[in-house]
Amino acid sequence: MLESLAYVGIATPAQKEWDHFGTRVLGLERGPDGPDGAQRYRADDALFRLAIHPGERNDVAYFGWGVSLPEQAREVAQRVEASGLEVFDGDPETAEHRGVEGFVWFHDPFGFRHEVSWGQVFLPSTFRPGRAHSGFKTGEQGVGHVVLLVPDLEAADEFFRGVLDFKLSDRIIDGKLDGRFYHVNGRHHTLALIQAPMTGLHHLMLEANSLDDVGTALDLCNEHGHPIVSSLGRHTNDLMTSFYVHTPSHFAIEYGYGGLAVDDLWVPRTFHKASIWGHAPGERNAELPPALVTRMPEPAAAP
Ligand SMILES: [Fe+2]
């Protein structure tokens, strides 16, 4: 089934602010722009990993998942269709823009667009970070992980685990926090789902190759006034040492180091705390939106 998170697309009116933030703070490389003026950022030798498209409002444009072969994308498409959703073939022009050989796409039950692609374009030995940096942990683990807020955790689990075959890594149930974490490769989680009164992208996690890259990113966020959503801390489940920064497009980037690897013998666990230490709420959280909210749930029908 799905093998990794290959790329992510965001639409935003705050595109301009990304150039400095993406390169000089996060350490990504600005790649060639996309045809619609998308600013495309690289985290390794892949053509791009994060595309920041121009948009009237902040939104998730797409999540790009990677598989090895077109047959695997067809298999995913069949399972998604069997669940009652429509699946479309990506046109060759869009595939070229995404830097892949081909893809199929669909909207999940919550309205997020997913693209299942094969043949991602790589340019060996070309990645140059936007600032002094030891690079990002990608490879078979993909670009990182995404954490989605969903109004119905059971329905989301049924789709992502039941239909898309994400494997449960563990759960965190901590007071009001009810989250499930899933892997598709050696990364402890490539996807997490959090029960919430809304639908949205909470964060994208990027994993640096050195703890110093994380500390330096934290210094640069503070120096340039990017609000810290969660202070430096270490998670109980994936053991990631990380902090969270509020991006110009109102979702967070978790910037981490030292995440745990899992294998096929992994047994899911339950934690009653999200962090061993740290991850204290940021001072400005009350004035910031909680996540990139793609849409609120439909009002409940009258009984
Ligand atoms: Fe995370």
Say yes or no: 74 and 165 in one domain. no
**Has residue 124 been placed in a domain?**
no
**CA separation, residue 191 to residues 156, 162, 213, 215 (Å):** 11, 14, 23, 25
How far away, in angstroms, is 83 Cα from ligand 1 center? 28
Say yes or no: 147 and 47 in one domain. no
Say yes or no: 27 and 168 in one domain. no
Say yes or no: 290 and 144 in one domain. yes
How far away, in angstroms, is 167 Cα from ligand 1 center? 16
pLDDT digits (tens, 9 = 90+) for 111-152: 999 999 999 999 999 999 999 999 999 999 999 999 999 999
Q: Provide the domain count of the chain.
A: 2
How far away, in angstroms, is 92 Cα from ligand 1 center? 33
How far away, in angstroms, is 204 Cα from ligand 1 center? 7
**Has residue 77 been placed in a domain?**
yes
Say yes or no: 144 and 289 in one domain. yes
**Has residue 24 been placed in a domain?**
yes
How far away, in angstroms, is 91 Cα from ligand 1 center? 32
Could you tell me which residues come within 8 angstroms of residue 122 by beta carbon, excluding any fewer than 6 positions away?
45, 46, 47
Tokens 């995913």 belong to residue? 76
pLDDT of residue 292: 82
**Has residue 130 been placed in a domain?**
no
pLDDT digits (tens, 9 = 90+) for 176-205: 999 999 999 999 999 999 999 999 999 999
Mean pLDDT, residues 238-261 taken together: 97
How far away, in angstroms, is 242 Cα from ligand 1 center? 9
Q: What is the CATH number of the domain that holds 68?
A: 3.10.180.10
How far away, in angstroms, is 39 Cα from ligand 1 center? 24
Beta sheet of 113-118, edge-to-edge order:
29-30, 39-42, 50-54, 4-12, 59-67, 113-118, 102-107, 88-89
pLDDT band for position 302 (50/70/90)? low
Say yes or no: 60 and 26 in one domain. yes
Q: What percent of the chain has pLDDT over 90?
A: 93
Give the integer Cα–Cα distance in Å for 203 and 229: 11
Say yes or no: 277 and 149 in one domain. yes
How far away, in angstroms, is 194 Cα from ligand 1 center? 11
Say yes or no: 113 and 143 in one domain. no
How far away, in angstroms, is 145 Cα from ligand 1 center? 7
pLDDT of residue 297: 54
Say yes or no: 290 and 147 in one domain. yes
**Has residue 245 been placed in a domain?**
yes
**Has residue 133 been placed in a domain?**
no
Give the integer Cα–Cα distance in Å for 58 and 248: 9
* Protein residues placing their CB within 5 Å of the ion ligand 1: 205, 254
pLDDT of residue 63: 98
Give the integer Cα–Cα distance in Å for 112 and 116: 13
How far away, in angstroms, is 205 Cα from ligand 1 center? 5
How far away, in angstroms, is 300 Cα from ligand 1 center? 30
pLDDT digits (tens, 9 = 90+) for 260-301: 999 999 999 999 999 999 999 999 999 988 778 776 555 555
In the chain, beta strands by DSSP E: 4-12, 29-30, 39-42, 50-54, 59-67, 88-89, 102-107, 113-118, 145-150, 167-174, 177-183, 191-195, 199-207, 228-235, 241-246, 252-257, 269-271, 275-278, 292-295
Say yes or no: 193 and 100 in one domain. no
Domain holding 211, by residue range, is 139-295
**Position 21 pLDDT exceeds 70:** yes
pLDDT of residue 300: 52
